[in-house]
Structure 1
Amino acid sequence: MVTLRAMGERAVLVEVADLSAVVRLHAALAADPLDGVDDLVPAACTVLVAFDPLRTSPTAIAAWVRAAATADPDAAAPGPLVEIATRYDGADLDDTAGLLGIRADELIARHRAAEWTVAFTGFAPGFAYLVSSDWPFDVPRLDRPRLRVPAGAVGLAGAFSGTYPRDTPGGWRLIGSTDAVLFDPAAADPVLVPPRSRVRFVPLRERARVAGPREPDDTTSTSGRPDAAASPPPAGSSSRVARSSNAGAAPGPALRIVATGPLVTVQDLGRPGRAALGVARSGALDRGALRIANRLLGNDESAAALEITLGGFSARAERDCWIAVTGALADVRVDGRGVPAYAPVRLAAGAELTIDPAHAGLRLILAVRGGVVAEPVLGSRSTDVLARLGPPPLRAGDLVQGGTTTGEVPAVDGFPWSVPPAALEVRLRPGPRADWFTPAAVEALTDASWTVSTDIDRIGIRLDGPILERTRHDELPSEGMRPGALQVPPHGRPVILLADGPVTGGYPVIGVIPDAALDALAQVRPGDRVRFRRA
């Protein structure tokens, strides 16, 4: 029995009975791919199916899902077996065993003996929620989560086991640790244990291996990458866009950062299609502004540029170069002289570019001819501030390098654009969990005028307004999320997820903003007003 719930115009949330049904359905869908499906995100009781509406339809998705739900559960091949070398030295080992009424050595033996399956990923890139029919325990989480759980920690929570791919806060009970590299963004297969993988925890003295289901003797190192366990990489790219030295820099125009304002990151069109691995789409929040800035300079529209929050930015041209500024309304000056936005502007070597604090809107795009050069991570140069992927935010002194160019800068007399409004009207579709709310709450979504709060970043926007009352107060099992999802946390006020938002979440989604409307939301600032109208 499956229930299909629309998650906007580009995704469907497929609800099934329990986690074992999720594992079976995800395996069946993965074994019989459908053209137009971009991502499958399994979670506790759901599978999120993200698709391209230009290549398939909700009707085709529904037929495909229902066929998979009735498929032979034994038809899908088992996932690869990954053995993770583990030392049982966790800070909570003895206390956890005591809570379960067993000795620590028995807890270790049962954890090792179980064959675990990756039901879904989430929380952080590469973090796998492992389940096993051999595991009989339900382990309570810590009353007070730790502010820092070290990378490699092996933990238990509820019916799950899991291993932390990087340092992060967490409330799981820690029973061990491993040196295995669980997430390597530079690798061809960045996640060691993707959904449907089988996992065994083995003593550290044994050489762990990754074996395909039909070739159990085919072994590699712990992570499937030579020497990975001995030298784990950071969670994201640790190199800056370019340091002060020009050594190894690609030829092309360059800017030296003088001042950044609140936040400056490198963004392109992001890394879609990786949510099943726990990796968000990321990318420029105002994708239209990015595309226009690149077109003005003759770049590919997906080229990387700088996303500048609020303004207060300045940089010096190291060489002659062309730039374009789009997005929010701000005064743009070169050596103190005003220059137009939404137009190509030539900077001579030594000239200083200044972007004043924005008068309207929140985010500006600064593109350079040839695109910003940065090391790609999982196919994108974008900075993901939540997952810490891509180049870190820029700071004063950093050198921004432009790529090589061909052809001429397009001749543009002017480009039509409008000032981001302080009162925005946005289309809204019903969310998959709208039935968790009272009819009055659903009506309030479109009746009320919402105020953008100070809680706003690349992850999401909290709106202030009437409290949205729920009819159900039980905990929602974690399920797939999308940019544009309107989650409602326990405080009752909606939060709009943006491009760096989590790929799974446990708050009910009352509405979904269509993808095309998200660019406008990139420009709202604290105090602005937002009204929703039914799509």
Structure 2
Amino acid sequence: MKFLRASDTALLAQADSLEQAVELNRAWQNIAGIRELVPGASTVLVHFDPARVTAEALMTQLESTDVSTSCDGQARHITIPVTYDGEDLASVADLLGLSEESLIQRHLAAEWTVAFSGFAPGFGYAKSSDPIFQVPRRSSPRTRVPAGAVGLAGPFTGIYPRESPGGWQLIGHTRDLLWDIHREPPALMAPGTVVRFERETRDGVVVSGAPSATHDDAAGEPTPAAVSSSSPDGNALTVISPGLQMLIQDTGRAGHAALGVSTSGAADRTAMRQANQAVGNHAQVPVIECIGAVELEYHGAPSVAVVTGAMGQMQLTATNGAHHKVSGGLPFAVDSGDRLSLGYPQRGLRYVLAVRGGIQAESALGSLATDTLAGLGPSPLKAGDHIAVGDPEAAPYAVEPLGVQRDLPAPGDTVDLAITLGPREDWFTPAALEALVGQDWEVTTRSDRVGLRLLGEVALERRVTGELPSEGAVTGAIQVPPDGQPVLFLPDHPLTGGYPIVGAVTRQDLDLAAQLPPGVRIRFTVPDPAGRQHGSNGTEHLPLNGTEPGDPR
């Protein structure tokens, strides 16, 4: 077993096989200091709390854990009906030297066990003992794969829980609902589940003797509803103009990696904490995160609001027509009928709005965070939506203006982001590693909450050109697709991926990364360039940069 550095708060344990990775993931579930585990095809990504355990101490403990005593109990068995009509069925059969019918029969005869989840909530990577199933991904991923599509990639079969891009070879589809937060477990193909496929002959899959919903009942739409189209009885914000994007966010939903659910949450957690502190809320109370020029109207009892994060022209218009300038980080009073207008940010990208009493909505898996990739949490806000706000009298703390607002970059500025190298820097040429830290990278307009798409004059050239088995990725990871132009992962990134990650932004710079608008240039720096250190037993021990305790990423 080998440990690689995945970030300053995460290790990537390289196992010998998928089976060993599954065993390690089971055995490490209750080790002190571990925040979350993300198993992959032959790895386990270990998120840890640096305030509770050092990387070196954690590696020693992980090495000494007895995996032979781990047991996951009795396996859950399900049967899923499939219509074998996929666009790639003929080409995959030809690739494997089979007829289409022979391929279908082998897929039906195999017993598949879900080893891990990733990519999207409810997407399970199931492997069988049939050696025929070793299928390369498509050379060009599709931009749209429908919900229920059954695909093959490497030794795995999987089913897309919702419409999304994807590069798996499609051989059929099912009408069964792969992900339902009202079901236990929400993921039909949860890790450890034994799956058999059958040709479509009935309406729904049978799980423990009970029929489940099908895609006809629910097509994987974002859940739950965030707001009301009619004005609520209590305090509320009404969206007049949502700008480019307006979302409800909190600290996210950590602890659900086994279901393929990432933490998500506020992109700029510093701005969220500052906003809640300024109006007297608990630090974790939900806020509104928005991009672009926006306008909202407040209704209800007199309260207090604040805007942090991005900086731009901000104004409050009272019901009598009077205009009041709003300054970032300074709480301001709001009364029923007041309108808040935020101009397009001049510095930074994301405004964060907090109201005393907190934003209220229905939660999904214990969080109000909107995960734009997974489709979890409240839907993006639109004009006419009414957002419930809590009672300002229930806020636990006094109003507390911020001292100094952060100086965020504007388009054309250059910022330094500290990174750790790894876990797959050895997949790149020395020239690529020099280019990574030796040139500026421009943030492009193709960026979103999934990640910043970067453009550099010199693309990163890979030394290893093979396909990387799916493995976990952290927020801040710098993933390099085949074109050599990196993607810097933000909160809504997929849990696992198949492109190599050359490094990761350190935790103290993640909030800054989330505030970089298109046109900003990034210079990556490596504050601790020390090479790998090897322990006496041959396991690679990697010194990690120090970090302060805080919210898990």
For the aligned pair, the TM-score class normalised by the smaller chain equals 0.7 to 0.9
- The SS at the match of 1:443 is helix
The farther-off stretch of 144-153 and 507-516 is 144-153
Equivalent of 2:226 in 233, 236, 241: 241
Structure of greater relative contact order (alpha carbons < 8 Å, 6+ residues apart): 2
1:375 counterpart residue number:
362
The farther-off stretch of 233-242 and 486-495 is 233-242
Equivalent of 2:188 in 187, 192, 211: 192
2:250 matched to 1:268?
Answer: yes
- The SS at the match of 2:152 is strand
Q: 1:199 to 1:369 in 2, by over 3 A?
A: same
- After superposition, what is the alpha-carbon deviation per residue over 1:423-472, rounded to whole angstroms, capped at 9, x for unaligned? 32222112111122233332333333333222321111123333223322
Contact 1:148 1:170 in 2 (8 A): yes
Matches of 2:354 and 2:64, distance apart in 1: 47
Contact 2:277 2:400 in 1 (8 A): no
The farther-off stretch of 114-123 and 87-96 is 87-96
Structure 2: stretches of 5+ with no match in the other structure = 318-322, 528-553
Q: 1:278 to 1:400 in 2, by over 3 A?
A: same
Equivalent of 1:340 in 322, 327, 333: 327
Matches of 2:133 and 2:7, distance apart in 1: 37
Matches of 1:501 and 1:429, distance apart in 2: 19
2:294 matched to 1:313?
Answer: yes
| Structure 2 letter corresponding to 1:487 | Q
Equivalent of 2:107 in 111, 117, 138: 111
| Structure 1 letter corresponding to 2:210 | S
Matches of 2:463 and 2:195, distance apart in 1: 39
2:141 matched to 1:154?
Answer: no
Please state how far the C-alpha of 1:4 moved relative to its aligned partner.
0.6
Contact 1:83 1:202 in 2 (8 A): no
- The SS at the match of 1:154 is strand
Matches of 1:81 and 1:189, distance apart in 2: 11
Moved over 6 A (4+): none
Contact 1:39 1:276 in 2 (8 A): no
2:398 matched to 1:410?
Answer: yes
Aligned pairs for 1:273-422 within 5 A = 273-310=255-292, 312-319=293-300, 320-335=302-317, 336-407=323-394, 410-412=398-400, 415-421=403-409, 422=413
Q: 1:140 to 1:341 in 2, by over 3 A?
A: closer
Please state how far the C-alpha of 1:236 moved relative to its aligned partner.
4.7
Matches of 1:104 and 1:491, distance apart in 2: 33
Please state how far the C-alpha of 1:209 moved relative to its aligned partner.
4.8
2:423 counterpart residue number:
432
Q: 1:467 to 1:168 in 2, by over 3 A?
A: closer
2:64 matched to 1:67?
Answer: yes
Matches of 1:502 and 1:272, distance apart in 2: 14
TM-score relative to the length of structure 2:
0.85
2:66 matched to 1:81?
Answer: no
Contact 2:437 2:525 in 1 (8 A): yes
- The SS at the match of 1:201 is strand
- The SS at the match of 1:451 is strand
Q: 1:153 to 1:435 in 2, by over 3 A?
A: closer
Q: 1:467 to 1:138 in 2, by over 3 A?
A: closer
Please state how far the C-alpha of 1:231 moved relative to its aligned partner.
6.2
Please state how far the C-alpha of 1:115 moved relative to its aligned partner.
1.8
- After superposition, what is the alpha-carbon deviation per residue over 1:256-303, rounded to whole angstroms, capped at 9, x for unaligned? 111121111111111123233221221111101111111111211111
Equivalent of 1:46 in 36, 43, 46: 43
Contact 1:27 1:196 in 2 (8 A): no
Q: 1:378 to 1:342 in 2, by over 3 A?
A: same
| Structure 2 letter corresponding to 1:164 | Y
Matches of 2:175 and 2:22, distance apart in 1: 27
Please state how far the C-alpha of 1:341 moved relative to its aligned partner.
2.1
Aligned pairs for 1:86-101 within 5 A = 86-92=81-87, 96-97=92-93, 100-101=96-97
Structure 1: stretches of 5+ with no match in the other structure = 211-218
2:210 counterpart residue number:
221
Contact 2:278 2:401 in 1 (8 A): no
Please state how far the C-alpha of 1:187 moved relative to its aligned partner.
3.7
CA RMSD of aligned residues (A): 2.6
2:461 counterpart residue number:
469
Equivalent of 2:470 in 471, 478, 485: 478
Q: 1:414 to 1:20 in 2, by over 3 A?
A: closer
- After superposition, what is the alpha-carbon deviation per residue over 1:62-97, rounded to whole angstroms, capped at 9, x for unaligned? 2343235x743x853456222123144433556655
Q: Paired residues, what number?
A: 514
Matches of 2:392 and 2:219, distance apart in 1: 32
Contact 1:236 1:390 in 2 (8 A): no
Please state how far the C-alpha of 1:402 moved relative to its aligned partner.
0.4
Please state how far the C-alpha of 1:496 moved relative to its aligned partner.
1.0
Matches of 1:484 and 1:116, distance apart in 2: 33
Identity between Structure 1 and Structure 2 (%): 41
